[in-house]
Structure 1
């Protein structure tokens, strides 16, 4: 029994586990993940009628969550959020500090990355068919938390919240989720060929 537990722990749970050097690796991944989300936040398109811009962050959050696993993903997004609040200008549009009505999406990023990491640790990133539900679950968390925060912060009705916090982003986020769902299994396939 203990022999089988030892064997299951020696297998990589997520892509990041393929990188040697546990502590140094984890520190570099957390800092790099926060930086990646901050960089992708600068790809921002402001949509008329909503305080929430279209950004590349969602792609980064889904990839980090799934590639890092729950613990490292949560740490990376927490670092991104806390550093941004403390003054690092890497929220959308080079903003820092409390991000107002759109900050709920940052909170949603934390929940989504953690959930995607948890699911990836259970093999949800090994094939496109298993990755898609994981990415969709992450998107649902981002929208659920982000829209709730937006509604309260901006005093919006349900229809206003949907119009400002969901509808303009659906197509782009579907593309980002599909891209992430395809990239992770491809990375596993590449890693498998290199290690063979």
Structure 2
């Protein structure tokens, strides 16, 4: 269960004003809107979400890194838990011709507004109850999703990812290493329910029997 980073380069491209995040608009109100995971969260005002979640190719490098590290090939099955609009799955499909992609997300809006090429392979659902048989996927990924779950559902979700994956899994969660990063995370986040240090996340992985790879993103 090694720590390996494919994500930081993408995460660090976004410029963030943490103080403005909590002064320009009531944070509690923003969080209440964001947690509906509807239009406002994805394509509404930046104060309550992404401010427009559109494909721009930023996940291509991540898709290629996943392909190379996990030796993905035609016919392999990949599941993205918390796939959003399916941008990473699209880039994986482009990077590995013939790959079988599957995505699941809690947001009906994201699924119905997903990239056209991958929309048929996505479905609405929850991470803690994956509608797939044991050992179905050659790779299961979950990028910046699981920290949005309450502890009791986080435990179920990690066990579900372990259950449906044959061997390779890779998850990314938000974390903090010091008080400054903790404050920045609290200021910036809109949907988080689990606020864990790296050691606490590793405790969760061990507790649930998660055997895959992982990485953390920090708000520096």
Instruction: Specify the TM-score bucket, using the shorter chain as the normaliser.
Output: 0.3 to 0.5
The structure that is helix-richer by fraction is 1
TM-score w.r.t. length of structure 2: 0.34
TM-score w.r.t. length of structure 1: 0.37
